[in-house]
């Protein structure tokens, strides 16, 4: 099982009436990696997670999680997964401790283990002080941390995080990211859905961009960024009139033709390393003085816009609302 993919889907399809949530999705997630499923609301991310966590049956196609078929071996799948969702599914009328202990018992952990594991997780998620308080007194960030802790009770090898930071403020978001990164270093495979591009960029080893039920691009964050032209040097000259000369001088280090824009010279580069020094040297040799030089990295926002023709965080909300 070591070399088998942690998650693998083939031609996954699901429709809700006339709404096609998934239109043939193939995914392949290596064990121990973080896989980001990136897309706007209504793209089909949540539907994919619901199928992979056995909450929903696919109309067509197949999916295996931790080596088990999500339809035929659903019970086995459930023993190997953890799910944390966008709703922070914890019981408000129980304390943090009671929530985790209950989940441990429902995972059928051995005698005494649900209690010990609950204490351990509360401590590692910085919730020990609030352990015996009812969850309805928790802040949004605390609930999400408890939700994530609940997903980890049985130390599942595959963890599904459906928009784990939606609705959180920046500080809580960063805290949760740290928690997720700590997990991954422990070898857990994580499939994460998000419409927050920074989140996928920061956490994921590989990203599949999903839009309207189809995977429209897949690769490492760097590869995806490469699709919109990679990195770029932005050079502001002391004398803007020498821009054309600079373009000629820098052409040989550029991956694509340098161009002038807003009084700066833009130089697309394939490899960041060494290129700044190189550019400085060449301009110096040509006797062109530099006022400022910087590297700009394309964001996943740029990727998304280029791939889908629309920005990431808009539309589709009604479609998903209808579908649910």
Partner 1 sequence: MRGLRYGISDTLVLAKRSLLRIPRQPDLLVGFTVQPILFVLLFVYVFGGAINTPGLDYVDFLIPGIIVQSIVFGGFVTALGLADDLKKGLIDRFRSLPMTRSALLTGRTLGDVVTNIFQLIVMFSVGLLIGFNFSSSVGEVVAGILLLLLIGYAFSWVFAFIGLSSSSPEAANAFGFTILFPVTFVSSAFVPVDTMPSWLQPIAEHNPFTYMVNAARALFLGIPAENNVWLALAWTLGIIAVAAPLSAWKYRRVVAQ
Residue numbers at the binding site for partner 1 (CB under 8 A): 16, 50, 53-57, 75, 78-79, 81-83, 85, 87-94, 98, 102-103, 105-108, 134, 150, 324
Assess contact for 273 and 253: CB atoms under 8 A.
Answer: no
Based on CB atoms, which residue is closest to partner 1, 2 or 93? Answer: 93
Based on CB atoms, which residue is closest to partner 1, 91 or 302? Answer: 91
Shortest Å, Cβ 140 to partner 1: 14
Shortest Å, Cβ 89 to partner 1: 4
Based on CB atoms, which residue is closest to partner 1, 151 or 200? Answer: 151
The SS3 call for residue 93 is coil
Shortest Å, Cβ 124 to partner 1: 20
Shortest Å, Cβ 144 to partner 1: 13
Based on CB atoms, which residue is closest to partner 1, 151 or 180? Answer: 151
Shortest Å, Cβ 93 to partner 1: 5
How far is it, in rounded angstroms, from Cα 219 to Cα 200?
Answer: 12
Per-residue exposure over 97-128, b if at least 16 CB sit within 10 Å of its own CB, e if not:
bbbbbbbbeebebeeebbeebbebbbeebebe
Per-residue exposure over 287-316, b if at least 16 CB sit within 10 Å of its own CB, e if not:
ebeeeebeeeebebebbbeebbeeebeeeb
Assess contact for 279 and 235: CB atoms under 8 A.
Answer: yes
Based on CB atoms, which residue is closest to partner 1, 92 or 129? Answer: 92
CB atoms within 10 A of CB 143: 21
């Amino acid at each position: 099982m070591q070399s088998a993919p942690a998650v693998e889907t083939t031609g996954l399809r699901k429709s809700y009436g006339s709404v096609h949530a998934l239109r043939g999705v193939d995914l392949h997630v290596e064990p121990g990696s973080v896989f980001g499923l990136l897309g706007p609301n209504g793209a089909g991310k949540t539907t994919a997670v619901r199928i992979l966590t056995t909450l929903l049956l696919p109309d067509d196609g197949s999916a295996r999680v931790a080596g088990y078929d999500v339809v035929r071996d659903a019970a086995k799948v459930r023993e190997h997964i953890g799910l944390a969702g966008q709703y922070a599914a914890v019981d408000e009328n129980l304390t943090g401790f009671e929530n985790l202990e209950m989940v441990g018992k429902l995972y059928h952990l051995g005698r005494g283990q649900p209690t010990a594991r609950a204490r351990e997780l509360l401590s590692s998620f910085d919730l020990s002080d609030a352990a015996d308080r009812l969850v309805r007194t928790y802040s949004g960030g605390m609930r999400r941390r408890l939700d994530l802790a609940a997903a980890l009770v049985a130390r599942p090898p595959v963890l599904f995080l459906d928009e784990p930071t939606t609705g959180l403020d920046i500080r809580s978001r960063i805290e949760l990211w740290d928690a997720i990164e700590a997990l991954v270093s422990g070898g857990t495979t994580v499939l994460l859905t998000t419409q927050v591009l920074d989140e996928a960029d920061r956490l994921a080893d590989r990203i599949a961009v999903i839009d309207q039920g189809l995977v429209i691009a897949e690769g490492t964050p760097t590869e995806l960024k490469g699709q919109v032209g990679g990195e770029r040097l932005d050079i502001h000259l002391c004398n803007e009139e020498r821009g054309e000369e600079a373009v000629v001088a820098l052409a040989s280090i550029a991956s694509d033709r340098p161009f002038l824009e807003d009084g700066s010279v833009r130089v697309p580069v394939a490899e960041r390393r060494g290129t700044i020094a190189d550019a400085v040297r060449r301009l110096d040799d040509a006797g062109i003085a530099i006022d400022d030089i910087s590297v700009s990295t394309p964001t996943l926002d740029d990727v998304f816009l280029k791939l889908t023709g629309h920005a990431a965080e808009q539309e589709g909300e009604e479609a998903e609302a209808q579908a649910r």
